[in-house]
Structure 1
Amino acid sequence: MSAADGDPSLRGPRGARAEPVGDDELEGLFAPFLGHPGVLIAVSGGPDSTALAVLAARWRRARGEGPMLGLVTVDHGLRPGSAREAEAVRALADAIGLSHRTLHWRGAKPTTGVQEAARAARYRLLTAEAKARGSGAIALGHTLDDQAETVLFRLSRGSGLSGLAAMRPASRRDGVALLRPLLGLPKARLIATLRAAGVPFVEDPSNGDTRYARARLRVLAPLLADEGLSAARLALFARRMARADEALERATDQAGARIGLAPWQAGAPVRLDLAGFGELPKEIGLRLLARAIDQNGREGPAELAKLEAMLEQIYARLKGEPSPFRRTLAGALVAIRRGELCVSPAPERRKGPASR
């Protein structure tokens, strides 16, 4: 038995040896790239994003035509070796015939919530670069294993159905398409692909740092798989949640059109027929309320638990004697008046007296 045969990173479900990604799979994986003039491939130097770059370049060469591809690395400046890893990605880009640029996260770094802040900074830098280049899309190396972790992470934090749909193969952020062509592939197959091609990669040490929730979930993954909660099962669960979420979003579209008392316009209050709102299934009412608050609020998406509490307050008013209702949430004012549920921007908060 070779050393590779004994490497657990090259083992797929039930201990089967993971096979490299074949050339016959590339067209199916990268077909979504064809709808964009260019695609930026986010590459950290880890196995997932490195495999994404190698496979995308192989696909583009085989086709002989298609979108312009380029590699982009975000150096967060959080670890001493990050600059060296960015240079390794540059060398990879040269080897596979693609351009490369390193983007830097400048400024002070937070002392808590570092991973969340780094993720937000990464997307901000990537989308700005894509817009500047007119690329239209960013490719990300998320895998089946990442999808499973996301489901567990969101479940542990009490996410609703939309959150449990986890990552989508294609989504949008700030007007830029986010493509995840490897979302259906296990990490072991990507590592096998790189080993077969002799392409080196690095492992981010924070991936094994159990101070972070996702690292702790990785420790639990083999135990959960033994109980039937494998990465493939969790990803299937996410797809089913996405299917249900899509149906509920369409039902919410229809409900909004049916009970809306005025067109939904930026800067204008959302006015809904109160009696009609009360007849909606609670999940549809919750989504419609969330949309109205998102449109008129100034503080980002409202927390699900707070939305649920407000919805119950509204239904309580509908069941009893009409009484004044005026609440703020996420920078939006939600009020009941004259048979309407009205959501508008909340008044600016008054500042306290200046200290002398």
Structure 2
Amino acid sequence: MPARMTPSLDDAAGLDRLFAMVAAEQAIGLAVSGGGDSLALLVLAQRWASERGNAPRLHVYSVDHGLRPEAAAEVAMVLATAKRLGIAAAGLKWTDAKPAAGLQEAARAARYRLIGKAMAKDGVDILLTAHHRHDQAETVLMRMAHGSGIEGLKGMAEMANVEGVRVCRPLLGIDPAALRAVVDAAGLVPAEDPSNSDDHYERVRWRKALPQLAVLGLDAVTIGVFAERMAEADAAIAQMAEERFATMVRLDGFGSARIELASFIGLSPAVSVRVLGRVLNIVGGRQKPRALGQVERLRQSIADGMLPKSTTVLGCVIRLKDDAVVIAREPGRAVPADAILLPHAELVWDERFLIINGSDESGLTASVADYLPRHRLEEFLGFKVTAPAEAIRTAPIVRDAEGGVLSLGGWSFDERISVKLLID
């Protein structure tokens, strides 16, 4: 939003613009920690909803991560504030064991997981968070320092899916000073989390560097404009990559892929990296979708004709064969254990296949095909099998209680089972 006119926070028209993306929702969740930014979100959302005749229901969610003794009181403050404003609220607590490393990331995942579960119970489909203009600037700078590509440099999107939760960030274009003014005017006293000023955290170090960068002309507004332009470039590259993916990539029922080598080498690096990254994501079980450096190095080795006879990247085995790049799932890399297919239920297997049991039977099991001779496969399928051995070994096979084969890879031999390769 930085490149567009910033909506006013003082009138109904400005609030309508601020919350336009969620105006049609039946219910909206608000993630409120008790800090100044999230309290401002709470005040603004309540003010907006109170001035609309058909406003969505509001639900506040506040999480005690169990990391600071003050957190319980902060959650209680949020719940009391929500009650005064006439908004339903729930306090949640992360009670799991805390990891020794990556604590902030684990806490973030737990927060969204807990809120997502509460939202499902309350019939809420979207969550609003209080990320603002400076948060966006910090994110872009961090990703730039880490070597992110265009996809990362577009920063946070206004609409996203985080840990399975639909998230909207309506305040991305708002200066935090304006949010502090909203809280002060409402007579609220925000909680202060000491981790927000702890130099141990990279985001805090970038936050403290922003004023120095602003003196040089690289302020939060400028960084926000840069992020918007990166988002536009990313969308253009994604469109081109989608078109090339459709014409160049062939996925088979075992979940392996072939990319035409000549066409692939002829693409611009930005587009070919995007195509290759998507293929690795699909075939490898969506292990590390943001591991850009590995994808770039793999693309370069293919383009330079320096690809080894066989190499592994992101859970995939990659080799050149018959003027094509052939990519298969790497055996032994987090391939799932046997899973029971419940009656009339779906199973996402290895993040690659959607398997549906359309029957009343409960004795159906999905497992790894592992070592099946090609002649047996060809008996099942009725055609010559040319897929890589790794793809065959890592494909799912569904059997009934008597051991009968109902499906293999993406092929079903029984009306009780349907299977689909996931490509999105």
Normalising by structure 2, what TM-score? 0.73
- The residue number in structure 2 matching 1:281 is 268
What amino acid does structure 1 have at the position aligned with 2:271? I
Task: State the 1:129 CA deviation.
Answer: 2.8
The reply on whether 1:325 has 2:309 as its aligned counterpart is: yes
Give the structure with the larger helix fraction: 1
Larger RCO: 1 or 2 (CA < 8 Å, sep 6+): 1
| Aligned partner (choices 151, 165, 172) of residue 162 of structure 1 | 151
Aligned equivalents of 2:138, 2:63: Cα separation in 1? 22
**Could you tell me which amino acid in structure 2 is paired with residue 115 of structure 1?**
Q
Rounded to whole Å, the distance in 1 between the matches of 2:293 and 2:245 is 22
Q: Which residue of 2 aligns with 1:316?
A: 304
Aligned to 1:221: 210
Percent identity reads 38
SS of 1:109's partner is coil
Matched, 1:66 2:66: no
Q: Corresponding residue for 1:190?
A: 179
Q: Distance in 2 between matches of 1:161 and 1:259?
A: 23
Q: Which structure 1 segments of 5+ residues have no match?
A: 1-18, 351-356
CA distance in 1, matches of 2:162, 2:97: 24
**1:36-51 to 2 correspondences below 5 Å:** 36-51=25-40
Relative to structure 1, the CA distance from residue 35 to residue 331 in structure 2 (aligned partners, 3 Å threshold; closer, same or farther) is: farther
Secondary structure of the residue aligned to 1:39 is strand
Corresponding pairs, count: 326
Query: Contact 1:260–1:271 at 8 Å: present in 2 too?
Result: yes
Structure 1 residues 310 and 26, CA gap change in structure 2 (3 angstroms):
same
Write the deviation string for residues 280-307 of structure 1: whole angstroms up to 9, x where unpaired. 1111111111111111214332521111
CA contact (8 A) 1:302 1:329 kept: no
RMSD over aligned Cα atoms: 2.0
In structure 2, distance between residues paired with 1:297 and 1:262: 13
For 1:272, which of 237, 253, 259 is the aligned residue? Answer: 259
Question: Secondary structure, in 3 states, of the residue corresponding to 2:126?
Answer: strand
Q: CA deviation at 1:337?
A: 1.3
Give the alignment partner of residue 320 of structure 2, picking from 316, 321, 336.
Answer: 336
Structure 2 CA distance, aligned partners of 1:174 and 1:46? 22
Which string of whole-angstrom CA distances, capped at 9 and with x for unpartnered residues, describes residues 255-279 of structure 1?
101212347x7x6222222221111
Deviation at 1:121, TM superposition (A): 1.8
CA contact (8 A) 2:154 2:230 kept: yes
Structure 2 spans left out of the alignment, 5+ residues: 1-7, 335-424
Change (3 A) 1:91 1:211: same
Q: Secondary structure at the match of 2:332?
A: coil
Q: Conserved in 1, the CA contact under 8 Å of 2:251 and 2:257?
A: yes
Question: Which of these residues, 245, 250, 253, is aligned with residue 261 of structure 1?
Answer: 250
The answer as to whether partners of 1:20 and 1:196 remain within 8 angstroms in 2 is no
User: For the Cα contact (< 8 Å) 1:143–1:186, is it kept in 2?
Assistant: yes
The letter for the 2-side match of 1:330 is L
User: How does 1:1-356 map onto structure 2 within 5 Å?
Assistant: 21-173=10-162, 175-262=164-251, 268-298=255-285, 299-301=287-289, 303-317=291-305, 325-348=309-332
Q: 1:106 to 1:157 in 2, by over 3 A?
A: same
Distance 1:333 1:198 in 2: 60
Distance in 1 (alpha carbons) for counterparts of 2:163 and 2:93? 19
Instruction: Give how far 1:58 is off.
Output: 0.9
Q: Which has the higher strand share?
A: 2
Deviation at 1:175, TM superposition (A): 4.9
Q: Deviations over 1:156-196 (max 9, x none)?
A: 11111111100011122355321001110000001101111
**2:315 and 2:330 in contact (8 A); partners too:** yes
Q: How far, CA to CA, are the matches of 1:203 and 1:288 in structure 2?
A: 44
Cα deviations across residues 57-101 of structure 1 (Å, max 9, x unaligned)? Answer: 111110021222100012111111001000000001101111111
Higher radius of gyration, 1 or 2: 2
**Contact map agreement 2:9 2:15 (CA 8 A) in 1:** no
1:56 and 1:305 map into 2 onto residues whose CA distance is: 40
Query: Following the alignment from structure 2 to structure 1, what is the Cα–Cα distance between the partners of residues 309 and 164?
Result: 36
Q: SS of the counterpart of 1:234?
A: helix
SS at match of 1:261: strand
